[in-house]
Amino acid sequence: MDLSDLRPPVEDGPWPPITHFPPLVYGPLRGARSWTGLTHASVPGYRPLQLDVHVPEGLASPPVVLWVHGGGWAEGDRRHVPLQWGQQRMFQAILDAGMAVATCDYRLNEEARLPAAVHDVVAAVRYLRRYAAELGVDGDRVGLWGDSAGAHLAAVAGLAGSSPEPDPWVLGEIGVVADGAYASGGPERTDVRAVVWWYGLADLARERQLAAWLWPEVEADARAELARRLSPVTYLRSDSPPLLAMMGDADTVAPVTQAHALAEAAEAVGARCELVISPGSGHVFHGEPLEAFWERAVEFLARELGAVPLVPEESPAPEQFVRRNLRGARFRDVDLSGAVMRAVDVDGLEIDAPWLLEEDGRLVVNGVDVAPLVDTELDRRFPGRALRTAATPEGLGEAWSAVEQAWSRAVARAEAMPDGTIDRSVDGEWTFAQTLRHLAHATDMWLRTGMQRLDDPFHPWGLPDGDPTDGMGDGPTWEQVLEVRADRQAQVRRAIAATTTEELAEERPNPHAPEHRETVLSCFRTIL
């Protein structure tokens, strides 16, 4: 038997885009049609490499930005952005600027050594070009944007792929490849119009220890040659696509000298490279509001790719519902503020508006503001709830103790129920186990990110807001969920005990919207 007999048939991929649009992992993007899980390359012996594409509605053939995730060449997938960014917000910013956004999987370094990951990113570029018409994008206007390890891959793929003499060893021959794939002007061209490089590596030859990790089985001299051939600076030419290099000078993961090396190498050959160094920012721009970095990158890509944003229509007049039967209707994530209901049947109406009572909101029924009545009744039902408005360290400590006791009782009740109860979902809501995982994530967001500003704030088993799925494949065991939850509860307990009255008045960036400031007291109250 010949080895080729054991290989999967060529029909295993790449496949053209399918006609239905499954939802984005973290919920749909506004004003976009989406494809998820497109196979852009299939390499015998490896998992299928998949691609997600989100295209703005109402625009004919917009340019497309390919996002290449980071993770030290060792972890992450196409849906990965650093958790404090928010996948939705980042991708939405690209769409709102009139560009499609695609995200791709690539083989990690323990699966296949570099240049395999570069091959996979280039295969995604080929796919976007080949199926541009089916996707409704302009395959001649492709930009690459990567962070950390993804920045390195994006820069190598973009610069080497735009060379007039492409190197098959660097670019690979997987995915949508036909005879003459490297011929100028072919449908599988790999050149791009722009590259955004965020806090990555540009010259691997300067990082000998990293090269030894990337290619541990290769001799030192050979590693040096591999590092040279897989360094973005190697492929800079006067006609290279324009670069935007952004990095913080307090980065302890990748040295800021790499950003300067990229800019200096570009200047030496006459290539365009905009260099932005953020004072005091760490890796992932930790310590600074993110919007300014997004805006700069999106503006750069929109300019270089010739994007034209869709002009939004004027807000329509409020919709009128007259003599309509909405019995049994379900409203979720809907803005009903200011809605007026007259002569309506609301028997059995259920309202879950958690922020109403935290923001002095009003809910008027038959001329009576019932919000204070509801607030009082909830305090009666849940002993200790009234303590959530504490304004001193001592009061916060008492309130947190009440929270821990309440959850301890809830966990005991859940564990006393029939097997499987903790993993059951009702009406599409999170399960009990997922709820505890989300609470761990929320603690990481407001304590470890917002207040403590840690470089690595998130536990991998936390469940981000807006993710209705498990999000972690098989997920952790119940015992592991309880362990993480207990650890985060203890961290809050210690943080409250260590906080002074003066520190409660200090301000921190809101972790969801860093351009807004929150007091430490407000952060603690949010956790409560």
| Overall number of domains in the chain | 2
**CA–CA distance from 43 to each of 2, 281, 396 (Å)?**
18, 39, 56
Q: Round to whole Å and give the CA distance between 136 and 382.
A: 53
* Same-domain pairing of 299 and 389: no
* Same-domain pairing of 19 and 155: yes
Can you say how many angstroms the Cα of residue 407 is from the centroid of all Cα atoms in its chain? 30
pLDDT (mean) for 426-432: 84
Q: In the chain, what's the furthest Cα-to-Cα distance? A: 84
Which CATH number does the domain housing residue 113 bear? 3.40.50.1820
- Which of 256, 261, 193, 196 lies closest to 227 in space, CA to CA? 261
* Same-domain pairing of 73 and 216: yes
Which CATH number does the domain housing residue 450 bear? 1.20.120.450
305, 323, 350: which is the final residue of a domain? Answer: 305
Whether 118 has a pLDDT exceeding 80, the answer reads yes
Q: Which domain holds residue 82?
A: 15-305
pLDDT bucket at 24, cuts 50 / 70 / 90: very low
* Structural domain contains residue 9: no
* pTM tops 0.95, yes or no: no
* Same-domain pairing of 287 and 396: no
Per-residue pLDDT reduced to its tens digit, 76-87: 888 776 645 555
Burial of 223 (0-12, 13-18, 19+ CB in 10 A): buried
* Structural domain contains residue 466: yes
Q: What is the DSSP track for 69-114?
A: --STTTS--TT---TTT-HHHHHHHHHHTT-EEEEE----TTTS-T
Whether 518 has a pLDDT exceeding 90, the answer reads no
* Structural domain contains residue 515: yes
Q: Name the most confidently modeled range: 188-197, 266-275, 280-289.
A: 266-275
Instruction: Give pLDDT, residue 437.
Output: 93
* Same-domain pairing of 205 and 297: yes
* Same-domain pairing of 157 and 65: yes
* Same-domain pairing of 155 and 24: yes
* Structural domain contains residue 203: yes
* Structural domain contains residue 517: yes
What the block records as the tokens of 357 is 């009572």
The region of weakest confidence among 134-143, 150-159, 249-258 is 249-258
| Mean pLDDT, rounded, of the chain | 84
* Structural domain contains residue 378: no
Secondary element (H or E) of residue 216? none
* Same-domain pairing of 289 and 411: no
**CA–CA distance from 228 to each of 156, 182, 206, 208, 218 (Å)?**
11, 22, 10, 11, 14
- Which of 457, 440, 435, 467 lies closest to 508 in space, CA to CA? 457
* Same-domain pairing of 297 and 174: yes
Q: Which residue has the tokens 């909830």?
A: 378
pLDDT (mean) for 89-116: 91
* Same-domain pairing of 26 and 126: yes
274, 305, 336: which is the final residue of a domain? Answer: 305
The region of weakest confidence among 29-38, 233-242, 338-347, 382-391 is 338-347
Whether 315 has a pLDDT exceeding 70, the answer reads no
Instruction: Give pLDDT, residue 86.
Output: 59
* Structural domain contains residue 222: yes
Tell me how crowded residue 480 is: count the other CB atoms within 10 A of its CB: 13
* Same-domain pairing of 292 and 410: no
* Structural domain contains residue 142: yes
Whether 49 has a pLDDT exceeding 60, the answer reads yes
278, 305, 332: which is the final residue of a domain? Answer: 305
3-state secondary structure 14-38: CCCCCCCCCCCCCCCCCCEEEEEEE
* Same-domain pairing of 288 and 402: no
Whether 13 has a pLDDT exceeding 80, the answer reads no
